[in-house]
Amino acid sequence: MALTRVNASTAISGTIAASSVANATVANISSLPASIPTGALTLLSTQTASSSASISFTSGIDSTYDSYVFKFIDIHPSVLNGRFSFNASIDGGSNYNVIKTTTSFRAYHAESDSETSLSYNTAQDLAQSTSDQQITPNLSNNNDGSASGYLQLFNPSSTTYVKHFISQTNSDNNAYSYESFIAGYCNTTSAINAITFKMNTGNIDDGIIKMYGVK
């Protein structure tokens, strides 16, 4: 259809056939965005577990980004009832023992639809502890059992404030779906520059962890 102007004060209406549109060229671009849009994820590192005692990120966590997101994809434990956990370091990974205070709640639903629950989980919170923070409940090590989710760490390079984090995961165990929510802060004003992930027992038999920077 040809474009039609009804009168001088109205907008042009109608459609343009695709065959009438010429290819754009670089020369026709008058300006580009000033920067990457806020909230954009930049993939910085990918690690794949293979009967790994731990997976650690000891580089790339610095003041370049306001926060860092770690995505877990099909984390599979080597032993039944292993719990996926993390800890932080202020010395490049020589020690993973940052003091943490955290809170935890979870929901679960049986495959048989026979049981549901939503409750605070005291077994996985910490109060001024240097222990690893568990971010999943017990995991199934069946062939099809795994956990997926994320951990986001905010402003790890700050030397003024404590370091907040939030985590959400979904996992399966004994024919139940578990949705776990963990949040808290690393109670240090030193910059955090390394993160490690492991099971509280056994190894990470399989799975992928990706680290992203967030603009």
Using pLDDT thresholds of 50, 70 and 90, give the confidence band for residue 33.
low
pTM assigned to the model: 0.83
Contacts of 30 (CB under 8 A, 6+ apart): none
CA atoms within 13 A on the CB side of 166: 3
CB atoms within 10 A of CB 196: 18
Q: Which amino acid is at 112?
A: S
CA atoms within 13 A on the CB side of 204: 27
pLDDT at 126 exceeding the cut of 60:
yes
Using pLDDT thresholds of 50, 70 and 90, give the confidence band for residue 7.
low
Average confidence (pLDDT) over 36-52: 90
Q: Are 137 and 106 in contact (CB under 8 A)?
A: yes
Q: What is the pLDDT of residue 13?
A: 54
What domains are there in the chain, each with its CATH number? Answer: 40-214 (2.60.120)
- Strand-pairing partners, residue 44, are none
Using pLDDT thresholds of 50, 70 and 90, give the confidence band for residue 158.
very high
Q: Can you say how many angstroms the Cα of residue 181 is from the centroid of all Cα atoms in its chain?
A: 12
Q: What is the pLDDT of residue 37?
A: 66
| pLDDT, mean over the chain | 90
